Amino acid sequence: MQLTLLGTGCPKVNHKRFGPSNLVSTKKTSILIDCGSGVTQRLQEVKFSSADINALFLTHLHSDHVVDLYQLIISSWHSYRTKPWKIFGPKGTKKFVKKIMEAWKDERIQRIKYEQRSSIEAFNIIVTEFNRYGKIKINDLKIEYFLVDHKPVKYAYGFNFYYQRKKLTISGDTKPCENLMKYGQLTDVLLHEVFIEGEKDKITKMRTKKTLHNVKNYHTLSTMVGKVARIVRCKKLVLTHFVPTWFNEKKLINVVKKDFGKSPIIGKDLLKIKI
């Protein structure tokens, strides 16, 4: 299986790190995880058409992870998608998708009528909402989902992907979390979010101490992520969802290595990892 990092950024704009999104693929199957800002452009860069995606999995409904959902759907139609979209996400996904489709309904109807394309299946969206824990099979990929801790977000998930005795774990957005340490055990690759300590300490009128504290408090600090990886006993640790997106790479590697015992891979947009 292959993991492609499509977007390794966060809500703050950085033209080198697009919004959170990842692609997990085998020869037969491709699954998109989250659809942050710029996902369709990044898909095109790795020569993947949104028309071919088998399913979209959403970690949670924070805007940075779902903001390009409509762009994904509409561009898949323009790319001649001839099958429905299967979307798996937390409680609230059905309502969210319904509202988005509603917002663009008039424009879409006019466009469909005028452009007369042969299929409108791309607009047929089948949403499945997660329970607390579960397993889903998409062709040759087995996916396990589990709750992580991104409070006050009530429903945020991490994922395991299994393919030919290999395991990939994706943390989603979370603070250090027992479920991740439990379900991620002995994974081949742990893709984990990180909040980089010491890079964002500037307190300003807009970014108060309280704001900074609260943002830190629902993410995993760079001084913690190596400890999490050690407990998980992953073979490789790949970091993503960098807050902030501009930082000293060497410093980050050293901090994490101290706890993990091995150097982490600093994720970059378009990086491909074979698992």
CB atoms within 10 A of CB 179: 16
Exactly one of 173, 220, 232, 260 binds Zn ion (CB under 5 A); that residue is: 173
Q: How many residues bind Zn ion (CB under 5 A)?
A: 3
x/- contact string, 245-264, with Zn ion (CB under 5 A)? --------------------
What letter does residue 121 receive in the DSSP assignment? Answer: G
Q: How far apart are CA 194 and CA 176, in angstroms?
A: 10
Q: Cβ 186 to Zn ion, closest distance in Å? A: 26
Q: Is 38 exposed, middle or buried (0-12, 13-18, 19+ CB in 10 A)?
A: buried
Helix (H, G, I), strand (E, B) or coil at 268: coil
Rounded to 10 degrees, the C-alpha dihedral 19/136/157/270 comes to -20
Choice between 162 and 218, CB closer to Zn ion: 218
Choice between 77 and 130, CB closer to Zn ion: 130
Choice between 85 and 155, CB closer to Zn ion: 155
Q: Cβ 90 to Zn ion, closest distance in Å? A: 11
Q: How far apart are CA 88 and CA 275, in angstroms?
A: 23
Q: Cβ 162 to Zn ion, closest distance in Å? A: 25
**DSSP-assigned states of every residue in 123-190:** G-EEEEE--SEEEEEETTEEEEEEE--BTTBS--EEEEEEETTEEEEE--S-SS-HHHHHHTTT-SEE
Choice between 172 and 226, CB closer to Zn ion: 172
Q: Cβ 133 to Zn ion, closest distance in Å? A: 20
- Select from 21-29, 172-180, 208-216, 258-266 the region that touches Zn ion (CB under 5 A): 172-180
Q: How far apart are CA 85 and CA 230, in angstroms?
A: 37
* 126-155 binders of Zn ion (CB under 5 A): none
Choice between 62 and 86, CB closer to Zn ion: 62
What's the distance, CA 165 to chain centroid? 23
Helix (H, G, I), strand (E, B) or coil at 57: strand
* 17-76 binders of Zn ion (CB under 5 A): 62, 64
- Select from 81-89, 93-101, 170-178, 195-203 the region that touches Zn ion (CB under 5 A): 170-178
| β partners of residue 143 | 136, 161
Q: Cβ 153 to Zn ion, closest distance in Å? A: 6
Q: Cβ 77 to Zn ion, closest distance in Å? A: 27
Choice between 11 and 70, CB closer to Zn ion: 11
Choice between 76 and 245, CB closer to Zn ion: 245
152 backbone φψ class: left, alpha, beta (φ>0; ψ -120 to 50): alpha
Give the binding site for Zn ion (CB under 5 A): 62, 64, 173
